A and B are shown apart, each in its own frame.
Chain A
Amino acid sequence: MTLRLPRVVSDIPEAPALQATPPVEIIALNRMAYGPRPGDVERVQAMGLTAYVDEQLNPSANPADDSTCTERLNAARLRITYTRSDGTRVDEMRPLRTITENWNLEQLYAIRQQNGNEHARPIEEVRAATWIRAIYSKWQLREVLVEFWHNHFNVDSQRDLGSGARISTTWPLYDAIMRRHALGNFRAFLEDVAQSIAMLIYLDNATSRDGPANENYARELFELHGMGASNYLNDLYDRWRDVPGATATPPAPVGYIDQDVYEAARAFTGWTLEMGQTIVSNQRLPDTGKFAYVERWHDNAQKRVLATEFDSNRPAMEDGRRVFDLIAAHPGTARFICEKLCRRLVSDTPPQALVERAAAAWLAAKDAPDQIKQVVRLILLSPEFAATWGAKVKRPFDMMAAFLRATSADVTPNSNLFSAVAAMGYTHFTWAPPTGLPEAGSYWLSTAFMLRRWNTLLGLFGNNSGGYATFALQGQIPAGVTSSRQIVEFWVNRLLGRPAEATTLNRLLDFMRQNQPADAPPTGTAADITSRINNLVALIGMSPEFQQK
């Protein structure tokens, strides 16, 4: 017998090896959608990539045009259980009311007055709705981009649970901002995010006042929302005028330093929320959760951001808005965000030529209401998009959504589904640092997370299925598909949309046929064959091929 010796130390290459490229509809359905549902591949093949991209870039605002998804949202019930202070129990299968009834700020904010166990409910409803849309909505690209922007403008929705619960109770409003601007204009997006309850509390600007200002929001505005760490030059320059380009006319500094962060933090002093704070002894803000600008808390002296002078005593909010103008128009922002979009839609190591073309389009469209749409279109119709495959790992949310879509599962999201992906690292809306869930595979590829992927898929067909998905796999097998080989090929095609590697295919076939001929129908009791098909489909989901996109 052979001993299995420890593998030799070798450094893992940063970029995954590229695989042979599958047809473009497979690429598109995996990267601008959450994987193909039965029939999708044929549909996209027939209409062509350009028509599909244009369809997806123009989602209808009418819920009736997305009837399956709308019905699912209306029919969804999510359990809530807790004990009231008087000892009585709440145990309801409750609809996703904050979503389906479009609750407004006043309604959501009032949840804060209810039992503390209700305070996280709006987050759960957005989570459930997000899963339903990812699995059933026609407008897949919009969902992919909403997920992208949620992570770009990351907020930990549970940050103030137990201490105000303003973020958690109004979470549907933050989600709505992501949806409103997902294909829109970045400058407008920035300002809506800055004035949101979620961001004002999460990055502390709601409490920032003159002397000294709170720098948290301003710092992440530069580093994470706008220009990116690659344009943070603090290790090179201490003074704004030393940054190359700073003293040009008009000023065009190539990057930002801490002085810009300090000054921008001053620009945002006084941007806050109505939370019942005292302004002066006899003057209080109401507690409504509405955005407020409090002149008294604003640092009105002159400032200099990105080498640009701001005069003193400017009109309300002008300082903050000028910071947005400067950041949104900066070429560094264009490159940083376009690189992120390419990393999401194309490859963990996106081709630089594509990033540059996207950044140029981004700047050219900086005042257009559909700026983001124009750039996403350029990326999806680029030769690089269709020529790249396997340079990304499906994140747990994609992986599960893709599996549930490909198998036509009947899905009713519940907390077991939420915790299943959390255990694979995908803490949905609760990623604590402001970076957002990582995009690159290096985070997701770990032994603990891989094991969770495998066990979750195996578990779907066992006694601890989690109760969020039911499957009728055998009923989906067409009449002519009878032999073990045909069954394996049918499900490989369904899940991967392309042939598997020879080893994978042979192993799947060995599993299905159980030492019987491959070209004969599988043998065994009916229950055993059902179990084997379930376990076969789980195993395809566990294969290396299924983790790539």
Chain B
Amino acid sequence: MTLSRREFLVGCSAAIAALAGSRVTNLVFANPADTTARDILVVVFLRGGCDGLNLVAPTGDRNYADARPVVRVPNSGSGAGISINNAIAPVDFRLHPRAASLKELYDSRNLAIVHACGLTNDTRSHFDAMDYMEAGLNDDKNSNGWLVRHLNSISASGIMPAVSALGSVPKSLRGSSQALSINDVNNFRLQGNSTTYTNQQQEALRAMYAAAGSPIHQVGLSTLDAINTVNSKIARDSQNRPLPYTPEAGAVYPTQYGTSLGNALRIVAQLIKMDVGLQVATVDYGGWDTHGDQNRFFGNLVEGLALAMHAFYNDMNRYASRLTVAVVSEFGRRLKENQSAGTDHGHGNVMFVMGGYVNGGKMYGSWPGLATEQLDNRVDLAITTDYRAVLAEILSQRLANPNVAEVFPRFSVPAQPLDIVRATNGQPNPPARPMQPAPAPGNSRIFLPLVRR
């Protein structure tokens, strides 16, 4: 039978109420059998190979200054880096001077830094490295994504378990029929020119796209489902129009640099608060391939990253106890700068983990040093922590995944845990800065008042 839009809305609300059971006021994990509490994981991918040596710079290391007469973070004078505590080596480490917002997150223990971290495969190709990393494998870049295997291994279900806040779905989520992309929540509907015809067209599309099982058909159906979900869950005003999204706690997403990242994180925030059962979300932030004139671009990128992460974390303050954010990039950059005042493709890099149960305010990993014989291939920062060690810990500690080996086959989780995150025990970390009172809960309430029978 075909459901009309109205029938669907009614059905949907009943389903949500049933699936959520007694936890209607809590985050909805729509699998009725699954009452496990899990963090929502947001993965931020810095595309292009972020220069971790300038994002969290070993300014106290003589080799760093020698290799980078131009492209470096100074440790004194104007534009000096921001000192941080609890470094991993007796070396002065500094955040890039434009990363003040990250320092605030770090000092309030919501942000942890892992250095000399990354993909141990020897490739220096962006596209290979991203493929390997998103596959979560060192030896097969064409496998399905690691987030897909995570969703499968916990038998994730629910109306909207995985979302890319971009137009496309990244490779880490590719291969799952559950992965949606939504880059504009408030306009996520069919926009025709006559309500009657548009509704008929929507029904016709459902029948057409249900008629076969090709990837085109599957995506068409997912699109129609997502339209229904978004429009049944979005907060509306008294005239039933979708309300514009208002960030909480005075959070301001960046408007000058990092706007694309800010917009994407804002969409993730909006969807989380709509209680659509989001479990993993991915966002991208590109432009890090700084082969030439790096100083002109890098600071702007860093500021955008820092402001967007800070805004998102404040906006999500009510959810801090069940939110983990991981920031990765495909590789770091060469220690020695080139003659274009840029840096070429390197190896080891920095990684961030942010969340309410992150053991933040601290650097993790072990520092291999920057003397020539300590470098990978004698030119690049060596890797002492596989990025999967960090992700695996997040999956097992925060996302209640008992089968991390299924997600990262052929990878041995280190016997000694990094302890970057802790289980939900005791209080989460304090907010990064004093919060304004939370607004009326209109944005976060479960959908029910919309049902008109």
Q: Which residues of A contact B (CB under 8 A)?
A: 1-7, 9-14, 16-17, 19, 163, 203-204, 207-216, 219, 223, 229, 232, 234-235, 238, 258, 261, 390, 393, 423-425, 432-433, 435, 441-452, 454-455, 458-459, 461-463, 501-504, 506-508, 510-511, 531-532, 535, 538-539, 542-544, 547-548
B98 within 8 A of A: no
Question: Which residues from A are CB-within-8-Å of B157?
Answer: 6, 9
CB distance from A263 to the nearest CB of B (A): 14
Are A445 and B339 in contact (CB-based, < 8 A)? no
CB distance from B264 to the nearest CB of A (A): 11
How far is it, in angstroms, between the C-alpha of A504 and the C-alpha of B208 when the chains are bound?
5
Question: Which residues from B are CB-within-8-Å of A213?
Answer: 338-339
Known: A208-B340, A223-B125, A452-B167. 16 other contacts (CB 8 A): A2-B3, A4-B225, A9-B176, A219-B125, A238-B122, A443-B168, A446-B219, A447-B222, A448-B183, A458-B190, A503-B208, A506-B207, A507-B204, A511-B201, A538-B201, A544-B208
Question: Which residues from B are CB-within-8-Å of A19?
Answer: 214
A-B contact list, 19 entries, CB within 8 Å: A4-B3, A7-B177, A9-B177, A9-B178, A16-B216, A203-B291, A204-B291, A209-B339, A212-B336, A215-B344, A219-B125, A229-B128, A435-B127, A445-B215, A451-B190, A503-B211, A511-B197, A542-B201, A548-B214
Question: Which residues from A are CB-within-8-Å of B123?
Answer: 232, 234-235
B205 within 8 A of A: yes
Are A11 and B208 in contact (CB-based, < 8 A)? no
B305 within 8 A of A: no
CB distance from A292 to the nearest CB of B (A): 16
How far is it, in angstroms, between the C-alpha of A213 and the C-alpha of B158 when the chains are bound?
52
What residue of chain B has the Cβ atom nearest to residue A203's Cβ?
B291
Q: Which residues of B contact A (CB under 8 A)?
A: 1, 3, 7-8, 11-12, 14-15, 30, 47-48, 121-128, 144, 148, 151-152, 155-159, 164, 166-169, 174-178, 180-184, 188, 190-194, 197-198, 200-201, 203-205, 207-223, 225-227, 286-287, 289, 291-293, 296, 336, 338-342, 344-345, 377
Given A214-B291, A432-B286, A535-B201, answer yes or no on A462-B193 (Cβ-Cβ < 8 Å).
Answer: yes
How far is it, in angstroms, between the C-alpha of A212 and the C-alpha of B201 when the chains are bound?
60
Question: Which residues from A are CB-within-8-Å of B188?
Answer: 451
Interface centre among B166, B200, B211, B287 (most CB of A within 10 A): B211
Instruction: Identify which of B126, B212, B215 contacts A501 (C-beta below 8 A).
Output: B212
Are A449 and B201 in contact (CB-based, < 8 A)? no
Q: Would you list the 7 A-B pairs with minimal beta carbon distance, nearest first? A: A462-B193, A503-B211, A207-B340, A507-B204, A216-B291, A446-B181, A448-B181
How far is it, in angstroms, between the C-alpha of A454 and the C-alpha of B47 when the chains are bound?
29
Are A1 and B125 in contact (CB-based, < 8 A)? no
CB distance from B291 to the nearest CB of A (A): 4
How far is it, in angstroms, between the C-alpha of A237 and the C-alpha of B233 when the chains are bound?
54
CB distance from A459 to the nearest CB of B (A): 7
Given A214-B292, A223-B127, A448-B166, answer yes or no on A12-B218 (Cβ-Cβ < 8 Å).
Answer: yes
How far is it, in angstroms, between the C-alpha of A17 and the C-alpha of B194 when the chains are bound?
35
Question: Which residues from B are CB-within-8-Å of A208?
Answer: 338-340
How far is it, in angstroms, between the C-alpha of A400 and the C-alpha of B278 when the chains are bound?
33
How far is it, in angstroms, between the C-alpha of A213 and the C-alpha of B211 when the chains are bound?
56
Are A441 and B215 in contact (CB-based, < 8 A)? yes
Instruction: Identify which of B184, B191, B226 contacts A458 (C-beta below 8 A).
Output: B191
How far is it, in angstroms, between the C-alpha of A446 and the C-alpha of B212 when the chains are bound?
17
Are A432 and B287 in contact (CB-based, < 8 A)? yes
Are B191 and A204 in contact (CB-based, < 8 A)? no
CB distance from B151 to the nearest CB of A (A): 7
Are A235 and B201 in contact (CB-based, < 8 A)? no
Are B204 and A508 in contact (CB-based, < 8 A)? yes
Given A433-B48, A451-B188, A463-B193, answer yes or no on A238-B216 (Cβ-Cβ < 8 Å).
Answer: no
Are A235 and B122 in contact (CB-based, < 8 A)? yes
Are A232 and B128 in contact (CB-based, < 8 A)? yes
Instruction: Identify which of B151, B211, B226 contacts A504 (C-beta below 8 A).
Output: B211
Instruction: Identify which of A424, A443, A544 contacts B214 (C-beta below 8 A).
Output: A544
Question: Which residues from B are CB-within-8-Å of A455?
Answer: 190-191
Given A9-B155, A507-B204, answer yes or no on A423-B167 (Cβ-Cβ < 8 Å).
Answer: yes
CB distance from B146 to the nearest CB of A (A): 14
Given A212-B338, A390-B214, answer yes or no on A12-B292 (Cβ-Cβ < 8 Å).
Answer: no
How far is it, in angstroms, between the C-alpha of A423 and the C-alpha of B166 when the chains are bound?
10
Instruction: Identify which of A11, A212, A548 contacts B216 (C-beta below 8 A).
Output: A548
How far is it, in angstroms, between the C-alpha of A425 and the C-alpha of B181 when the chains are bound?
12
Are B181 and A449 in contact (CB-based, < 8 A)? yes
Instruction: Identify which of B15, B175, B227 contacts A451 (C-beta below 8 A).
Output: B227
Question: Which residues from B are CB-within-8-Å of A433?
Answer: 47-48, 126-127, 286, 289
Instruction: Identify which of A2, A9, A209 contacts B151 (C-beta below 8 A).
Output: A9
Question: Which residues from A are CB-within-8-Å of B167?
Answer: 423-425, 446, 448-449, 452
How far is it, in angstroms, between the C-alpha of A423 and the C-alpha of B8 when the chains are bound?
28
Given A447-B182, A463-B193, A535-B201, answer yes or no on A12-B286 (Cβ-Cβ < 8 Å).
Answer: no
Are B151 and A17 in contact (CB-based, < 8 A)? no
CB distance from B195 to the nearest CB of A (A): 12
How far is it, in angstroms, between the C-alpha of A210 and the C-alpha of B158 when the chains are bound?
57
Question: Which residues from B are CB-within-8-Å of A548?
Answer: 214, 216
Are B127 and A216 in contact (CB-based, < 8 A)? no
Are A212 and B339 in contact (CB-based, < 8 A)? yes
What residue of chain A has the Cβ atom nearest to residue B121's Cβ?
A235
Are B338 and A501 in contact (CB-based, < 8 A)? no
Are A531 and B197 in contact (CB-based, < 8 A)? yes
Are B340 and A204 in contact (CB-based, < 8 A)? yes
Are B124 and A9 in contact (CB-based, < 8 A)? no
What residue of chain B has the Cβ atom nearest to residue A391's Cβ?
B214
Are B197 and A461 in contact (CB-based, < 8 A)? no
CB distance from B121 to the nearest CB of A (A): 5
Question: Which residues from B are CB-within-8-Å of A261?
Answer: 124
How far is it, in angstroms, between the C-alpha of A216 and the C-alpha of B341 when the chains are bound?
13
Are B338 and A215 in contact (CB-based, < 8 A)? yes
What residue of chain B has the Cβ atom nearest to residue A514's Cβ?
B200
Instruction: Identify which of A11, A204, A454 contacts B342 (C-beta below 8 A).
Output: A204
Instruction: Identify which of A16, A209, A232 contacts B215 (C-beta below 8 A).
Output: A16
Question: Which residues from A are CB-within-8-Å of B289?
Answer: 216, 433
Are A1 and B7 in contact (CB-based, < 8 A)? yes
How far is it, in angstroms, between the C-alpha of A447 and the C-alpha of B155 when the chains are bound?
22
What residue of chain B has the Cβ atom nearest to residue A207's Cβ?
B340
What residue of chain A has the Cβ atom nearest to residue B48's Cβ?
A433
Question: Which residues from A are CB-within-8-Å of B144?
Answer: 11
Instruction: Identify which of B7, B127, B169, B205 contacts A446 (C-beta below 8 A).
Output: B169
How far is it, in angstroms, between the C-alpha of A213 and the C-alpha of B188 when the chains are bound?
48
